[in-house]
Amino acid sequence: MKLFRKKQELYLSDRQPLTTAGKVMLFLNYVLLIGWAFIIVWPLTQMVISAFNGKQGRYLILNKISEGSYEFSFKHFEFLFTETLYLTWVKNTLIIALATAAITILIVSFTGYAYSRFRFKGRKASLMAIMLIQTIPAFAGITAYYTLHSIISSVAPLFTRQMMLILIYSGGGIAANTFILKGYMDSISTELDDAAKIDGCSNMKVYRLIIMPIVRPMLAIIALWSFIGPFMDYLLPRVLLTNPNQYTLAQGLYTLMNNRETLNQPAFAAGGLLTAVPIVILFAALQKQLISGLAQGSVKG
């Protein structure tokens, strides 16, 4: 009887001890998570090893670090900076990514607020159109992009294909993220808006002082998605950009895999490693907004 009471005292919370079936499921979950982590970490490890392996030739050889098969070297990075247009590709990609993120955030923040807080004619029809636009892949409209670029460039000769790429990325991001941000704003009580309007705030002040601080975490996520897109996309730049001086990182690095003259697979691994640097920096910069934005918004509201 005393032993039974001691066992009862061990579980004072509502959480019940695991049964045999629960322990088996927990074990399987850990096995799946470890396996999934291995699938992700192993290629990354091979990429890092190959990028700094001076004994790798033009072709990538996946192996373990062993005596005689590895020599720490920066020669693949030197090849990137001296034998390719890597810095130009980085500059092009950063310009496209920053412009895409800025345009997307600027427009989506207003369209999301308008669809969430206002009722106007054609609201449901336009929301349905936004949902339908998301189902059409951007690559499917490549003919229309060429025609549109020809029309605009005939009127404005300074309009480049890189600008066209920014408009394509921004247009797709606005359509997708407006619907997401609207749903996020719908979860914010309209009583905050009413209280602010009683105090004399206009719709713009409500948006700036009440809504914006609360939706800052979602805006940070949208900015991150919009920034990453140009770094990861290959198809659209491959079709639209024909001059090597205009290539993005994905398109430029791919030439190290399929071009006989510039073939250097370890340099491709080194370039892929460096490509992750601006994305990691942006994620670290926005992480504070993701954590503290909601709390700051709720205090102001």
Q: 79-300 — its CATH code?
A: 1.10.3720.10
CA quadruple 288, 294, 297, 298: dihedral, nearest 10: -140
From the list 43, 48, 72, 85, the residue with the least C-alpha distance to 254 is 85
From the list 119, 230, 135, 137, the residue with the least C-alpha distance to 182 is 119
Collect all residues with Cβ–Cβ distance below 8 Å to 284 and sequence separation of at least 6.
Answer: none
Give tens-digit pLDDT for 201-229. Answer: 888 888 888 888 888 888 888 888 888 88
Distances (CA, A) of 144 to 101, 147, 172: 23, 5, 14
- C-alpha 247/C-alpha 233 separation (Å) is 12
Collect the ranges in the chain with pLDDT lower than 70.
1-15, 62-69, 138, 289-301
Domain locations along the chain? 15-74, 79-300
**Per-residue pLDDT at 67:** 53
Distances (CA, A) of 212 to 114, 141, 191: 13, 34, 16
